[in-house]
Chain A
Amino acid sequence: MKPLHIGKNNRYLKPDLLLLELLTILLFLLFMFPFIMVVLNSAKTSREIIFNAIALPTSWKQLGVNVGLIFSNPTVDYMGAFIDSIVITVLSLLVISIFSSMAAWILVRNKTLWSTILFMAFVSAMVIPFQVLMYPLVRWMRVIGEFLNFRLLGTVGGIVFAYLGFGSPLSIFIFHGFIKNIPLEIEESATIDGCPKSTIFFRIVFPLLQPIMITVLILNGIWIWNDYLLPLLVLGSNGRVQTIPIAVTAFAGAYLKQWDLILTSTLIAMLPIIVLYIFAQRYIIKGMVEGSIK
């Protein structure tokens, strides 16, 4: 990444640059302060936190003890929620990325009135706030569940179905913009060679989507992992299937002001996404920028 040279010649700016660097370090510490406090206090007992929340922990072993307490808690099945969250996120990403790219491809390559109407419908639906849909949705999912004799509420299948519905409009929009710029010639020559349409998509188009696929996966992945209201409504706050955000609120609700447990549970909730960020930083930053500007 090429820095923009706003400054004058380097040597004139040296003292300014040093001052800026100092200010940046302070600002950076201020930004990291909440995380530092979470880590420090996750390694304390409840009593230690009440006694002195700003002190360093007396023994880091307590962090392991607290993590153990979280995973072996009798009222909140944190491990189960952790696994369910991973399963729900992965399955939702799978169906969103495959089905949205398929739909976007047809919408780009078939220039009919219908495809324009459909595309406009997907795009305009993004304005609808979740609050308008959420309660009718729960009722409606119960109705179709009863009708099809297939439980949608409280199941992984039901929530993945809902995530496909909420995630596909933006994903179709992003894929649409990308596919428009793929030259048609590649697909046309395959058509002449007698390649069936589905093969053209999965063998030729789909691999070409890789750069934008990362954007779609990141945007949806961060949203689904952190989402609270949809899982709360579809899965319920003490259903069989849970997600991490629901488990964290369960800890806070069951152990009022017991910050050792609450903070440790938030630490574990943040960990997977932070670890992913450390390794895939470049892609995540690129994906976020592309997702926002489109």
Chain B
Amino acid sequence: MQELSGERTPMKKNSAVNIVFLAPCVLTFIMIIIIPFFFGLYYSVTDWNGVSDDVAFVGLKNFRGLASSPDFIYSFLITIAYTLINIVFINIVSFILSLIVTSKIRRRNFYRSGFFVPYLIGGIVLGYIWQFILNNILVKIGTTYSIAFLETSFLSMPNTVIWTMAVVNTWQYAGYIMLIFVAAIQSIPSSLMEAANVDGANYFHRVIHILIPMMANAFTISIFLTLTTSFKQFDMNMTLTNGGPATRFMDAPVKASQLLAMNIFNTATANRMAEAQAKAVVLFIALLIVSLIQVSVNKKKEVEM
């Protein structure tokens, strides 16, 4: 660690201080992230059972198992579908919200604060709240006023449950993405909009031809944020649906709303630790690919600028 002191800086005599200042974060980083990470990768190619120290190398056996597991393939596909739905829902809703709170209506700052509130609530808590809303409140409204489509809970049907989770997720994240969009809108020079106004462009033309192109960067941020958070979704999934209801996929029974992170958790809870670890590595690789795409998109943008 001697190199830390540096040759080119005037502070090189203080290498001891450098080490003391870096030590807490670097040591915890190694202990909490680096070492478990390499163990995690290693366990995915072993027969680790979570308890015993005797672990045997089994090669890619766990991964080959996943490729033919309906339960895993289903979770993987449903997670991708869920992520795509979220990207569409969240961007549209957040964009509308950001237009509202940057318009001239009264109390716009109050609305902005209000729309952001769901983001402050943890996934565990809001999962229970929405389970109550969907299973009790909406069903009660449906039966009281004889509204047929509300009489059965959206959480109890395999073909509506993912959409419902995306609605709940949109409710949670829209206010947050709205803030990013608002920041982008406010950084657009108002002279640009005024010029278009003088040229006779109507509101929708201005939004489509000026606002949206100028917000490209904010949309990129929002898409990647939604992508990574949806892919790792766990808390709300657990308390809202706990994976249910049951359905069938590739001639096998599967849980209709069991996303990838929950699949990993349930696999480990069933004491199939090495298999859970292999699933987690697949999740890691998927997120790695997303991040690499994000980095290259950002690089490209910097070149264009």
* Chain A residues with a Cβ under 8 A of chain B: 1-8, 10, 13, 17, 20-21, 24, 27-28, 31-35, 37-38, 41, 49, 52-54, 95, 99-100, 102-103, 105-107, 109-115, 118, 121-122, 125, 127-137, 139-140, 144, 161-162, 164-166, 168-169, 172, 188, 191, 196-198, 201, 222, 225-229, 245, 248-249, 252, 259, 262-263, 266, 269-270, 273-274, 277, 281, 284-285, 288-289, 292-293
Query: What bracket does the count of chain B residues touching chain A fall in?
Result: 35 or more
Contact assessment for B276 and A135 in the assembled complex, using a CB-CB cutoff below 8 Å:
yes
Is B283 positioned at the interface, with any CB of A under 8 Å from its CB? yes
Contact assessment for B239 and A252 in the assembled complex, using a CB-CB cutoff below 8 Å:
yes
Task: Please indicate the chain B residues that have their CB under 8 angstroms from the CB of A169 in the complex.
Answer: 29, 33
Is B25 positioned at the interface, with any CB of A under 8 Å from its CB? yes
Given contacts A6-B103, A248-B124, contact A139 B7 (CB under 8 A): no
User: How far is A241 from B10 in the complex, measured between Cα atoms in Å?
Assistant: 47
Question: Which residue from B33, B112, B133, B190 sits with its C-beta under 8 Å from A166?
Answer: B33
Within 8 A of A (CB), among B268-305: 268, 273, 276-277, 279-281, 283-284, 287-288, 291
User: How far is A24 from B112 in the complex, measured between Cα atoms in Å?
Assistant: 11
Task: Please indicate the chain A residues that have their CB under 8 angstroms from the CB of B32 in the complex.
Answer: 133, 137, 161-162, 164-166
Contact assessment for B104 and A13 in the assembled complex, using a CB-CB cutoff below 8 Å:
yes
Given contacts A110-B4, A248-B125, contact A285 B288 (CB under 8 A): no
Question: What 13 new A-B contacts, CB under 8 Å, besides A103-B25, A288-B176?
Answer: A33-B133, A102-B22, A112-B4, A122-B25, A125-B33, A132-B40, A132-B284, A133-B33, A136-B40, A164-B32, A166-B33, A197-B14, A263-B128
Q: A-side binding surface: helix, strand, loop or mixed? A: helix
Question: Which residue from B113, B235, B276, B277 sits with its C-beta under 8 Å from A229?
Answer: B235
Contact assessment for B21 and A5 in the assembled complex, using a CB-CB cutoff below 8 Å:
no
**Residue in B5, B33, B102, B273 whose Cβ sees the most chain A Cβ within 10 Å:** B33
Contact assessment for A54 and B141 in the assembled complex, using a CB-CB cutoff below 8 Å:
yes
